[in-house]
Amino acid sequence: MSKAKPAVLILCTGNSCRSHMAEGILKAAAGDLVDVYSAGSKPAGYVHPKAIQVMAEIGIDISGHTSKHMDTFLDRDITTVITVCGNADQACPTFPGQVNRHHWGFDDPAHATGSEEEILAEFRRVRDQIKLVFEAYAAGLREGRNL
């Protein structure tokens, strides 16, 4: 009988951009080691189309993701919770009972303004920051470091 993989829950407020990008990147980098989920304290109800677009550019499909409330996971055995809210005006949600907690804040690209290309550039910038952090986290998991 195989032991269940540890579960990692990535939280932000809206669960429309950053948490989905992080979920997709961590699944791609370490989905064989951990189960990865994302949710929000006030879910937007959709995954931002530009988040889907910029993730597809790096070969990760998040088009099937859905925006979920963090309460959906209260009855699950969550090992690690990672919050990705960035701005001081955003209240990062807290999740009861998990063993490990990390906070890696990123700007919310959904608030980007300007031309279509400027907004896409902001989504790409945030995606690339998330990719660096979550791929480093995945490398640590591979080396047997803490969740």
Tokens 């993730």, residue located: 55
Q: Return all residues near 13 (Cβ < 8 A) that are at least 6 apart.
A: 40, 41, 42, 85, 90, 91, 92, 93
Q: Return all residues near 138 (Cβ < 8 A) that are at least 6 apart.
A: 26, 29, 30, 33
Q: Return all residues near 69 (Cβ < 8 A) that are at least 6 apart.
A: 15, 39, 40, 41, 43
Nearest Cα residue to 11 out of 70, 72, 91: 70
Catalytic annotation, residues: 12, 85, 92
